[in-house]
Structure 1
Amino acid sequence: MPHFLPEPARPFTPQNRSAVLLLNLGTPEAPTAQAVRPYLHDFLSDPRVVELPKLLWQPILRGLVLTFRPKKSAHGYQKVWLPEGSPLAVFTERQAAALAKALPDVAVCHAMTYGEPAVKRIIAELKAQGINQLLVLPLYPQYAASSTGAALDKVFEVLLQQRNQMSIRTITRFYNDAGYIAAMKQQIEAYWAEHGRGDKLMLSFHGIPQANEDKGDPYSYECRQTATLLAAALGLSENDYIVSFQSRFGKAKWIEPSTQTLFDELPKQGITKLDVFCPGFVSDCLETMEEIAITGREQFHAAGGTQYHYIPCLNTNEAWLEALTSLARQHLQGWM
C-alpha cells in the first residue's frame, strides 16, 4: 500500500470549504461481550491509554483483560442502552445534528476515536466532498493525553497519508469556556429547582494515573479550574462541593480523591444527601449512567446515605448547544 493515499477522483478546483469534526471516545456496536471485546481491544491497545511496554501489556490484555472484562462491561451497557443505541453515540450524534443546523454553511460530522463512525472514514468522506479546511473539536472539556491526545492522534494519522493535506485547526480544551460553564450552571440549577438540593455537590471527573500527572499531564489542574469556575457561578462555598475522580483501572495509583472511596466515606462524615454531576462528560455514557447513576447510588446508600441524586450530563441542553456553536464559530473565524 502506498504511503500517500490517492486524492478523490474529481476535477481540481481551488476552493475553501470548511467542516467541523466532533470527536468522542467510542462505543461498542451492541451491549454484548462479543461486540465489547474488539472495542476494548482497540481502546486498551492505544499507547496513549495504557502507557506500558507493548511486550508487557499485550499478553495481559489478550489474556486476562479480554477474557473477563467484556462480559462485565457488556452487563453494564445493557443497563443503560437506549432504544436508539449506545447513549454516547446517540447524544454525540444529536449534538452534531444541532451544530449542523446552527452552522448551515459548514459541513458538520462526528467520529469516534475507537469504533464507528471511524475517523479515517469520515475524513475521507469530507475529502470527497471537497472539504479542505477542518476544525477538529474533541468533546473533552479538559485535556488529557489519554482522551484528547488519543483522539487527535487519529486525525493526524490520516493527514500523514494525505497527498493534498487539509488545513486543520484543533480545539484541545475548553475547560474554562464561559458558555460551557454557564450551560452546566443552568443544568444543575434546573435540576435543583425540580428535585431539591442535597447536603453537598460532588463534581466527579474521569481519572487518570498519577504517573501521567507526574509527567506533565495538565488534566487534573484543568478539572479543578472547571470546578472552581462552576462553583463560583453557582454561588457555592468550598464546603458546598467536592471534586473527585472516577473510573479507575488496574492496580497503579490514580489521582485522588477517588469518587468510589468518597461514596463510602461521606455518609460517615454526616453527608447523607448527595448530588453528583460529571463536568468532564458532555454526553451521558457508561461511566456516568451505570458507574455513577446506578452503581454509585447503590454504594452510597449501602454506606448509610439517605438521598442520592445524579444530575445528567449536558447532552442536548440548549445552553450547551449554544455554547458549542459559539466555540465552533470562534475557531472558524477567517474560514467562513
Structure 2
Amino acid sequence: MPDTDRTETGPSRPPRHAPEGHPSLPPARTGVLLANLGTPDGHDYWSMRRYLGEFLSDQRVVDYPRWKWQPLLQTVILTKRPFTSGAAYRSIWNEELNESPLLTITKAQTAAIRETLRARYGDQVMTEFCMRYGNPSTRATVRRMIDAGCRRIVFFPLYPQYAGATTATANDALFKALMKEKWQPPVRTVPAYCDRPDYIDALARSVERAYDAMETKPDILVASYHGVPERYLHEGDPYHCQCQKTTRLLRERLGWSEEKLVTTFQSRFGPEEWLKPYTVEEVARLAQAGKKRIAVIAPAFSADCIETLEEINEEIRESFEHAGGETFTYIPCLNDDEAHIEALSNVIGDNLAGWIDRVDTETP
C-alpha cells in the first residue's frame, strides 16, 4: 500500500517498500481549497451566456422544476440577460488584467493566505482557489491538487453566512468532483464563520477606518446582504438568522445603539417575495425620512464583486440620491485586508487541527 502519511517535499518517486515498476507519487501534502461564487471569462455576449447558463441552471440557485424553468431560461432569459449583465460587468471590469474584480481579489486573497499558511505550516500545505461557476473550476482544481500530492483537503467556501445557494452548492461541486477520482482524499468542509470574533473585529475595523476618514459621519450604516427567497427561511435555511447575528455582533463590537445600524437584503430576482427589507427600497425610505448621509457595508461578501461594485455603488446609490439623499459612502469588502487574511487563516487553522502541526517558520 502507498505510504499516505508522508509530508516531506521533493520530487515524485515510488512509495517506500513499493515493488519495482510502481508508479511514482508526489510527496503527500494537505490541500486547502478556497471557493468563491464565480466569474465570467469576459463581458461579451457568449462569455456571459455560458456563465449565466451555468449559474442559473443550478437548482440550489433557482429551485423551480427543470421542465418549467429551463425553457424560460434558454429561450428568454439567456437571450436578453447576457447583454444587460455584460454591460454591468463592463463598467467594473479590470481591463489591465482582462478579468473581473472578483477574480483579481480572490487571487490576491489566495496569495496572502498561502504565505500565512506557509509561515505556520511550512511546505505541508498547498493552497489554491476555485470558482463554483466559471474558471478555474472546482473539478479542474481538485484534479490538479490531487495530482500534486494532496491526500487530504480542507474545502473553504468563502461565505461568512451559510446559505443553500452559496455554501451548499459549492460543497456540491466539490463532492461531484470527488466522484471522478479513483483515490478520493478525505475532506473537511468549513462551516459558516459569521460569529467569529476575529471576523467581526475585521468588519468593525473597516467601518472605523471609513468613519475616521470622514469629516461628517453618516446618519446610519446599512448592512446589505445578498437576498434569497423568503420561503428558504421557512424551509430551514439558516442564512437570514446568521445575517441578523452578524449585524448584531458588529453593532455590539462598535458599541452602537440599534438605530445606528440596519440590516437589508439586495439582488432580488424573479416574482417571489425575498428577504426584506430590500436594500434598494430601504435606502430611498431612509433618505425620505431625513437620513441624508448613509454608509453601506456588505458583510456577506468576502470580496468585492458585481453585487457590490455595480449594484451597491451604482444602482443602490442612485436610488438613495434620487430620493433626496446627499452623501452615500460604500465601505469596501474586506478583500485582502490584513485583518481579514488573518481571520480566514485562523479559520483554516482550526480546520487543519489533527491533520498537521504548526511549524511556525517565522517568529510572530
TM interval, shorter chain, is: over 0.9
What is the distance in 2 between the residues matched to 1:124 and 1:208?
Answer: 32
The equivalent residue for 2:38 is 26
What is the distance in 2 between the residues matched to 1:227 and 1:162?
Answer: 41
Return the letter of the residue paired with 2:107.
E
Return the letter of the residue paired with 1:268.
Q
Return the letter of the residue paired with 1:308.
F
What is the distance in 1 between the residues matched to 2:149 and 2:336?
Answer: 30
Unaligned 5+ runs, structure 1: 1-8
Secondary structure of the 1:162 match is coil
Number of residue pairs matched by the alignment? 328
Contact 2:281/2:319, CA 8 A, preserved across alignment: no
The equivalent residue for 1:116 is 135
Indicate which of 72, 94, 99 corresponds to 1:60. Answer: 72
Return the letter of the residue paired with 2:201.
A
* Cα deviation, residue 163, structure 1: 2.1
What is the distance in 2 between the residues matched to 1:107 and 1:217?
Answer: 32
Indicate which of 41, 56, 62 corresponds to 1:44. Answer: 56
Secondary structure of the 1:49 match is coil
* Cα deviation, residue 34, structure 1: 2.1
TM-score (norm 2): 0.88
What is the distance in 2 between the residues matched to 1:115 and 1:15?
Answer: 30
Matches within 5 A, 1:119-198: 119-196=138-215, 197-198=217-218
The equivalent residue for 1:3 is none
Matched, 1:328 2:348: yes
Larger radius of gyration: 2
Unaligned 5+ runs, structure 2: 1-13, 15-21, 357-364
What is the distance in 2 between the residues matched to 1:178 and 1:19?
Answer: 25
Contact 1:33/1:73, CA 8 A, preserved across alignment: no
Indicate which of 37, 47, 61 corresponds to 1:35. Answer: 47
* CA deviations over 1:260-281 (Å, ceiling 9, x no partner): 1112211111111110000000
Contact 1:16/1:335, CA 8 A, preserved across alignment: no
* Cα deviation, residue 136, structure 1: 0.4
TM-score (norm 1): 0.95
What is the distance in 1 between the residues matched to 2:27 and 2:131?
Answer: 28
Return the letter of the residue paired with 1:217.
D
Matched, 1:273 2:296: no
Once superposed, what is the RMSD of the aligned Cα atoms? Answer: 1.4
* CA deviations over 1:236-274 (Å, ceiling 9, x no partner): 110101100000001111011100111221111111111
What is the distance in 2 between the residues matched to 1:143 and 1:89?
Answer: 21
Contact 2:26/2:149, CA 8 A, preserved across alignment: no
* CA deviations over 1:201-227 (Å, ceiling 9, x no partner): 000000000121111100000000011
* Cα deviation, residue 112, structure 1: 0.3
Secondary structure of the 1:297 match is helix
Indicate which of 83, 102, 107 corresponds to 1:88. Answer: 102
The equivalent residue for 2:360 is none
Secondary structure of the 1:198 match is coil
Indicate which of 257, 270, 277 corresponds to 1:257. Answer: 277
What is the distance in 1 between the residues matched to 2:263 and 2:160?
Answer: 16
* Greater displacement, 107-116 / 187-196: 187-196
> Identity rate of aligned residues, in percent?
38
